């Protein structure tokens, strides 16, 4: 029986390819994932795969674009839904963790791209996402200062860097222990420690 992937429209085929790479990356080094493995995962021939992506690099670029779009969308939705800047920071933190738990291959792909010595299109997209993410967190921290929730003496840029670094640390721990689910339990406790460091003294 032929895979239903053979009958998908072009855009859906591209998204299915991205999702296949992310699923494979949950259990393998992204750099070792071949186009053959991707095609097999999808039930396609390499020829069918290359009709949508001319190279493996173009596949990885599409994967990074997919991650950027969906992660930043979750971050924005979480921030908008919050009742205050501090609540927004917590919701963003937890939304990011939930995204990683739902897509455990994503951190391997992101870290893998950042380790490249050369400036690939995918690496530039990751770097741009991190800058955009950091700017959004800095905005929330500045709003927290204005509302009186966040210490007015706080170095906002440094605190934004620490916010992202804290999530990255949790993700690294999950990779070390081979258990991505543990960060869902750890995240609320870790955020409480972070928040105590930035909150305005009562």
In tens, the pLDDT along 63-112 reads 999 999 999 999 999 999 999 999 999 999 999 999 999 999 999 999 88
CB neighbours of residue 32 within 10 Å: 10
Given a contact cutoff of 8 angstroms between Cβ atoms, the answer to whether 188 and 124 are in contact is no
- Taken in order of first residue, the domains within the chain and their CATH numbers are 60-198 (1.10.357.10)
Average pLDDT, the chain: 90
The pTM assigned to this predicted structure is 0.88
Give φ, ψ of 181 to 5 degrees.
-65, -25
| Residue range 137-149: mean pLDDT, rounded | 97
Q: In this predicted structure, what is the pLDDT of residue 8?
A: 56
Q: At what angle do helices 105-114 and 56-81 cross, to 10 degrees?
A: 110
Q: How many residues does the chain have?
A: 202
- How many percent of the chain have pLDDT more than 90? 66
């Amino acid at each position: 029986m032929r895979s239903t992937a053979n009958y998908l429209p072009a855009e859906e085929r591209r998204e299915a390819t991205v999702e296949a790479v992310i699923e494979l990356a949950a259990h393998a080094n992204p750099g070792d994932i071949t186009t053959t493995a991707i095609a097999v995962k999808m039930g396609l021939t390499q020829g069918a795969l290359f009709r949508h992506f001319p190279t493996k690099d173009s596949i990885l670029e599409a994967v990074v674009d997919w991650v950027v779009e969906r992660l930043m969308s979750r971050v924005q939705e979480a921030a908008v839904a919050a009742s205050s800047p501090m609540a927004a920071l917590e919701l963003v933190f937890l939304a990011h963790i939930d995204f990683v738990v739902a897509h455990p291959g994503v951190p391997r792909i992101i870290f893998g791209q950042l380790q490249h010595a050369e400036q690939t299109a995918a690496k530039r997209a990751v770097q741009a996402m991190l800058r955009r993410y950091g700017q959004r967190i800095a905005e929330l921290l500045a709003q927290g200062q204005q509302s009186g929730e966040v210490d007015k003496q706080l170095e906002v840029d440094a605190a934004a860097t620490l916010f992202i670094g804290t999530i990255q640390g949790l993700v690294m721990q999950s990779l070390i222990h081979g258990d991505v689910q543990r960060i869902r339990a750890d995240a609320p406790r870790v955020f409480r420690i972070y928040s105590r460091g930035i909150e305005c003294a009562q």
